[in-house]
Structure 1
Amino acid sequence: METALAKTPQKRQVMFLAILMLLWEAGSEALRYSIPEETESGYSVGNLAKDLGLGVGELATRGARIHYKGNKELLQLDIKTGNLLLYKKLDREALCGATDPCILHFQLLLENPVQFFQADLQLADINDHSPEFPEREMLLKISEGTQPGTVFPLKIAQDFDIGSNTVQNYTISPNSHFHVATHTRGDGRKYPELVLDKALDREERPELSLTLTALDGGAPPRSGTTTVRIVVLDNNDNAPEFLQSLYEVQVPENSPLNSLIVAVSARDLDAGAYGSVAYALFQGDEVTQPFVVDQITGEIRLKRALDFEATPYYNVEIVATDVGGLSGKCTVAIEVVDVNDNAPELTLSTLSSPTPENAPETVVAVFSVSDPDSGDNGRMICSIQNDLPFLLKPTFKNFYTLVTQRKLDRESQAEYNITITVTDLGTPRLKTEYNITVLVSDVNDNAPAFTQTSYTLLVRENNSPALHIGSVPEGPFPGHLVDVSGTGTLSQSYRYEVCLSGDSGTNEFNFLKPIIPNFLPQGAGDEVGKTAAFRNSFGFN
């Protein structure tokens, strides 16, 4: 595919150059609006006409409209008032997930003449989700010989809100043996650890049941709970320890299923059964994680396809547990490497068809292109066929306009089939083709014309009146009758018999220039009737 493209010099190509993008970013500033998520539909976000310094009337006369990538309809523009209205309730978590801040990009497009304005809408989070633990109960097996101060990892609660509205603290129900400590991970999430304060005695109390509570930072705060069941075992001196606390790996997003990602390893210094360990995903994310760990070997393999554009990073926590219930934990940081697996996308914003034939540099179509891949995989070249009187012009960030290069001629070609080709620069190169049909509308740019500049008809004198002696061939309009003045030149064109003067001294009748059909002038018939010198009359069809 790459070779074929390289051998196609007849295609006009326009490339998104990084330096042009930097210049655009430096020379333009987007309008910014902010509303809380879940705001009711119909809410007025702002007034675009006022904020851009446009007259309200301009929005209607210039064909203003809102454009989104992917044709999502989130906002509406009232072109009578200039108000930007919320089309429907917006859920920040559904649109942006854990991304913070949540910013939706859109453009105001003015079609006549073409002009773009960039605008952003930021969705502020509200505390509409409560923390949830992955399981209703956690089971810990702890040896009665475990020393106070020993830490036991607990599973974190999930909260889809962000910032202060997500989990901020953990508490445990009052008891004499444990307290819970809250820590912050590298990604900002809070996680709990159970800390032993007082040694356990299996004979005194073989089992404990505690309630773990996760609290978010909303006002008022929301909470979620789970039960921590602790089984006290006979002495087990050593907990498993991983050879590394952090494993870092890179995985191409097109890796086949069951590919080996990495193998983790933990050891337990105890002898016999207490020295055997079993591996598992710590958070119990078997449903959401695309990875699986072998409980015996510690090998982590791919069980579901990766997608760099959806999730470029994973932090997977692995726990190793011995028979006595003691455990250790490590983190596997997995970076998904982008490959060129997405073809460019083209979104047509407007198409002006038919297009008048007499207007060069007329905007025929406005469209945007995008590619979710990164690096060269997401850089694009846009082209059309070379043998067409059209040009592609980059106009605004990732927007193009298709314009007429010169005046068109409907009489020579009334329709054009244009293929817009968008190709990325990845390996292998992927492309998307989009076909549009442009009709050319007629304008009155051709005057009527005869096929000859002079016609000569010969007629004998003394013939009967109204004798048909010839006809003028049709040009681009029907034949018509003409009047000849006494000097032999063409005068006006109107529908009545054309007469030849008998005393003109010639039997030739010459047409000297093209005539456009008109109407019978007042008094023309009277003049003919009064001229006795007209002996012969003949008509032209």
Structure 2
Amino acid sequence: MCSEEAMEAGGLCCSRQRQVLFLFLFWRVSLAGSVFGRYSVTEETERGSFVVNLAKDLGLGDWELVARGARVVFDDNKQHLLLDSHTGDLFTNEILDREKLCGSTEPCMLYFQILMDNPFQIYRAELRVRDINDHSPMFQNKETDLKILENTAEGTTFRLERAQDSDGGLNGIQNYTISPNSFFHIKIGDSDEGMIYPELVLDKALDREKQQELSLTLTALDGGSPPRSGTSTIRIVIVDVNDNAPQFPQAIYQAQAPENSPVGSIIATVSASDADSGIYAEIAYSFFDASEDIHSTFQINPVSGEIVLRVLLDYELVKSYKINIQAVDGGGLSARCTVLVEVLDTNDNPPELIMSSLSNHVPENSPEIILAVFKIKDRDSGENGKMICYIQDNLPFLLKPSVENFYILMTEGALDRESQAEYNITITVTDMGTPRLKTQHNITLLVSDVNDNAPAFTQPSYSLSLRENNSPALHIGSVSATDRDAGANAQLTYSLLPPRDPRLPLASLVAINADTGQLFALRALDFEALRAFEFGVGATDRGAPALSSQALVRVQVLDANDNAPSVLYPPHNGSAPCTELVPRAAEPGYLVSKVVAVDADSGQNAWLSFQLLRATEPGLFGVWAHNGEVRTARPLGERDAARHRLVVLVRDHGEPALSASVTLHVLLVDGFSQPYLPLPEAAAEQARADPLTVYLVVALAAVSSLFLFSVLALVAVRLCRRSRAAWAGGCSVPEGHLAGHLVDVSGTGTLSQSYQYEVCLMGGSGTSEFKFLKPILPNIQEQVLERNSEENPTIQNSFGFNF
């Protein structure tokens, strides 16, 4: 590369071995706080050539460019330079051709920006591509015919077609020469565009009769080192005198053509007139001193002078054309005019969006962060080039304008992945032309999860049930929780919480599957020992930090019919059988006894029914199915046997039903004073053992006692019947603590209400046999329950009965 001063002074080059030309960077602070830098590089410089160290010029540290994400963005969206963020060096990314990049424009400037994040900052800069002499001058026509009248005065000038050179500045065309001759010399003229052109000056009068034509060589020289040249042959034909040249009515024509004009459109029409006649009045139109661009864009009708469009116009490439038209008559005289064609802009270019940086992932609950930085541009001009940029209204994002048509897309606040995990953002850029054109760029933004949601059980409490006597490891139910988070933040682990009651052996009762939440019974449960229990379960996710929640589980143990009925009365513990005394005068429905039974089960399994299974004399006694009362079914007669044996069956309503049986002995007596009669076998044995005197004394005493007791009993029975309204049971029971011969059968589950009975025993029989059972006052029941609970607490605690 060569320095800018060296190039302007004469193009002195640096060492060919380095092949790197550079300029020092000049910076200045802009209104926005950005630095404007000018750089220079020579065209055709090898790819990877060093341009400048940006870190040093920007006053940044070695690694600051990397930390701030520095990058270079050109206006034409091409990467002409490459930035090494680690060293801060700026290199050429391609071989630059000034002629392709800028054409004839001089100086050739490429504008770019240096973008940095954290904080966001833009530095504007420009790169000048220096020209080298790599193109030779070229004439559009290698041979030019020039007709000159023989009477042309000395000093007359003829403008020649200038040569074209793609190089600029000093490397452009600097001089024209012509081959040695005695008639003409070259004069250099300056055009309005600042370009030179050759003029052929007649030094000596021509004589067609002596020489009809001349052939000269025109040479164009540029200012390169070494200089390059191009040649064209000028063939001069000396013609007879034609004293009237064509004339245009105006020297300059102005025309306008929209850039969307179709091919073949007539852009303008020129017309010239000639006062001569015949062949000297025939005019032919052609382009004069036209560039290759003019020839490729337009064509002229040589007869009509119509200028026709050959290709589509592009206002963004060329905004105007200057066309030189020459009219030549048949005698070789000519006239020239200029057609200025203004290209009108149409809205034929949609806006462009150039993305500089983009982030497609953002964590939820994050504050405002930058998602994308982009630039918009429109190649049109005026209203067609004005742009507006926006996104959808219903999104939590902001679009903020920056400098140099840069925009920043950022979050408006913290996002919630559980509400929406993905956003489709459409950036729309619309120009203000007619019709309006727009460009859309779609961005898919994924919101990454953070552990901000605790697990939630599907219900706050669970009610489970299982039947007693279950098998160990039985699945009794499941708990389930959900977590609105994702990934590891939504993976749950279930656990049992310590029970509220420390006496509950929860660890030996229930286990939980930590992954699925399934609950299992660890051992067989007994309804009679534990009817229900409750405990807490927890669900914890695997986030950091982990979040958890709790739920309550209630387990109800269902009863199974695993307990047979138990008969409480009459007792059947292997002692002497219980004998019930029934007077022969008893009426039908007389209460003989009551079978009292309980069942340790509950519900339907504890519903008991009573049935007379066997009887010594069928039809004499009956059992009430619901309360177990044994009553006479008909009046008793003298012929009925004195002793009867009844077998009562007690059955529950479980599935399958369980049962128990009890045997009752009933003794029919004529009166309540009649002593207890021993069995015939015992009396016979006693008669044989005692002397006769003893028999007589005993018999006399017995007859007397029986008669006296019968009279007293009969009186007592009648008194009890008369006072039945006052005494519900017929037996006088004092208030206070009950005697031991009262039996409580409350709470058995087999009666509709609680009953207490007084046991009236025969004289001499002790407490082994009942005489009759009668209800007593309810206020005595509490004393009986209290006493019996002290005597037999086991039965009371288990079944709720006192005996």
Which whole-Å CA distance do the structure 1 matches of 2:91 and 2:242 have between them? 65
Report the Cα offset of residue 359 of structure 1.
1.8
Q: 1:416 to 1:332 in 2, by over 3 A?
A: same
Query: Which of 489, 497, 516 is 2:540 aligned to?
Result: 516
Q: Does 1:202 align with 2:227?
A: no
Which whole-Å CA distance do the structure 1 matches of 2:344 and 2:541 have between them? 75
Q: Does 1:416 align with 2:426?
A: no
Query: Which of 352, 357, 361 is 1:354 aligned to?
Result: 361
Which whole-Å CA distance do the structure 1 matches of 2:480 and 2:539 have between them? 13
Partner of 1:117: 123
More displaced, 65-74 or 183-192? 65-74
Q: Quick one: which amino acid aligns to residue 56 of structure 2?
A: K
Which whole-Å CA distance do the structure 2 matches of 1:442 and 1:416 have between them? 14
More displaced, 98-107 or 372-381? 98-107
Alignment of 1:92-491 (within 5 A): 92-283=98-289, 288-452=295-459, 470-476=477-483, 477-484=491-498
Which whole-Å CA distance do the structure 1 matches of 2:371 and 2:430 have between them? 21
Please tell me whether the aligned partners of residues 499 and 535 of structure 2 are also in contact (alpha carbons under 8 angstroms). no
Report the Cα offset of residue 439 of structure 1.
1.6
Report the Cα offset of residue 214 of structure 1.
1.0
Q: Quick one: which amino acid aligns to residue 137 of structure 2?
A: P
Q: 1:452 to 1:176 in 2, by over 3 A?
A: same
Which whole-Å CA distance do the structure 1 matches of 2:474 and 2:513 have between them? 19
More displaced, 52-61 or 433-442? 52-61
Q: 1:485 to 1:51 in 2, by over 3 A?
A: farther
More displaced, 130-139 or 268-277? 268-277
Which whole-Å CA distance do the structure 2 matches of 1:498 and 1:30 have between them? 79
Please tell me whether the aligned partners of residues 178 and 195 of structure 1 are also in contact (alpha carbons under 8 angstroms). yes
Give the % identical residues.
56
Partner of 1:47: 53
Which whole-Å CA distance do the structure 1 matches of 2:466 and 2:30 have between them? 78
Q: Which whole-Å deviations, capped at 9, do the CAs of 1:426-477 have from their partners, x for residues lacking one? A: 1111111222211221122223333455667789999998776554322334
Which whole-Å CA distance do the structure 1 matches of 2:56 and 2:391 have between them? 38
Which whole-Å CA distance do the structure 2 matches of 1:87 and 1:408 have between them? 40
Q: 1:450 to 1:210 in 2, by over 3 A?
A: same
Please tell me whether the aligned partners of residues 253 and 336 of structure 1 are also in contact (alpha carbons under 8 angstroms). yes
Report the Cα offset of residue 82 of structure 1.
0.8
SS of the aligned residue for 1:447 comes to: coil
SS of the aligned residue for 2:280 comes to: helix
Please tell me whether the aligned partners of residues 457 and 509 of structure 1 are also in contact (alpha carbons under 8 angstroms). no
Q: 1:116 to 1:129 in 2, by over 3 A?
A: same
Which whole-Å CA distance do the structure 1 matches of 2:497 and 2:276 have between them? 124
Which whole-Å CA distance do the structure 2 matches of 1:114 and 1:497 have between them? 60
Partner of 2:70: 64
Please tell me whether the aligned partners of residues 170 and 215 of structure 1 are also in contact (alpha carbons under 8 angstroms). yes
Report the Cα offset of residue 41 of structure 1.
1.3
Report the Cα offset of residue 33 of structure 1.
1.0
Please tell me whether the aligned partners of residues 285 and 327 of structure 2 are also in contact (alpha carbons under 8 angstroms). yes
Which whole-Å CA distance do the structure 2 matches of 1:443 and 1:330 have between them? 77
Which whole-Å CA distance do the structure 2 matches of 1:206 and 1:459 have between them? 131
Please tell me whether the aligned partners of residues 473 and 521 of structure 2 are also in contact (alpha carbons under 8 angstroms). no
Q: Quick one: which amino acid aligns to residue 480 of structure 1?
A: Y
SS of the aligned residue for 2:419 comes to: coil
Q: Which whole-Å deviations, capped at 9, do the CAs of 1:399-443 have from their partners, x for residues lacking one? A: 222212222222222222222111100111111122221122112
Please tell me whether the aligned partners of residues 480 and 517 of structure 1 are also in contact (alpha carbons under 8 angstroms). no
Q: Quick one: which amino acid aligns to residue 378 of structure 1?
A: G
Partner of 2:37: 31
Which whole-Å CA distance do the structure 2 matches of 1:24 and 1:250 have between them? 39
Q: 1:437 to 1:443 in 2, by over 3 A?
A: same
Which of 1 and 2 has higher RCO (CA within 8 Å, sep 6+)? 1
Q: 1:208 to 1:445 in 2, by over 3 A?
A: same
Q: 1:103 to 1:286 in 2, by over 3 A?
A: closer
Q: Which whole-Å deviations, capped at 9, do the CAs of 1:100-127 have from their partners, x for residues lacking one? A: 2211122223344543322211111112
Please tell me whether the aligned partners of residues 384 and 421 of structure 1 are also in contact (alpha carbons under 8 angstroms). yes
Larger radius of gyration: 2
Gaps of 5+ in 1: 1-22, 500-504, 519-535
SS of the aligned residue for 2:65 comes to: helix
Which whole-Å CA distance do the structure 2 matches of 1:254 and 1:126 have between them? 37
Please tell me whether the aligned partners of residues 360 and 371 of structure 2 are also in contact (alpha carbons under 8 angstroms). yes
Report the Cα offset of residue 25 of structure 1.
6.5
Which whole-Å CA distance do the structure 2 matches of 1:70 and 1:444 have between them? 45
Q: Which whole-Å deviations, capped at 9, do the CAs of 1:491-514 have from their partners, x for residues lacking one? A: xx9979999xxxxx9965353x95
Report the structure, 1 or 2, having the larger helix content: 2
Q: Quick one: which amino acid aligns to residue 494 of structure 2?
A: H
Q: 1:123 to 1:238 in 2, by over 3 A?
A: same
Report the Cα offset of residue 324 of structure 1.
1.7
Partner of 1:88: 94
Please tell me whether the aligned partners of residues 34 and 122 of structure 2 are also in contact (alpha carbons under 8 angstroms). no
Alignment of 1:501-540 (within 5 A): 508-511=533-536, 516=540
RMSD: 3.3
State how many pairs are aligned: 494
Q: Quick one: which amino acid aligns to residue 264 of structure 1?
A: V
Q: 1:494 to 1:305 in 2, by over 3 A?
A: closer
Please tell me whether the aligned partners of residues 483 and 498 of structure 1 are also in contact (alpha carbons under 8 angstroms). no
Which whole-Å CA distance do the structure 2 matches of 1:514 and 1:39 have between them? 72
Please tell me whether the aligned partners of residues 454 and 510 of structure 1 are also in contact (alpha carbons under 8 angstroms). no
Which whole-Å CA distance do the structure 2 matches of 1:480 and 1:380 have between them? 58
Report the Cα offset of residue 173 of structure 1.
1.6
SS of the aligned residue for 1:108 comes to: strand
Gaps of 5+ in 2: 1-28, 484-490, 507-511, 523-529, 543-554, 558-803
Report the Cα offset of residue 48 of structure 1.
1.6
TM-score, normalised by the number of residues in structure 2 = 0.57
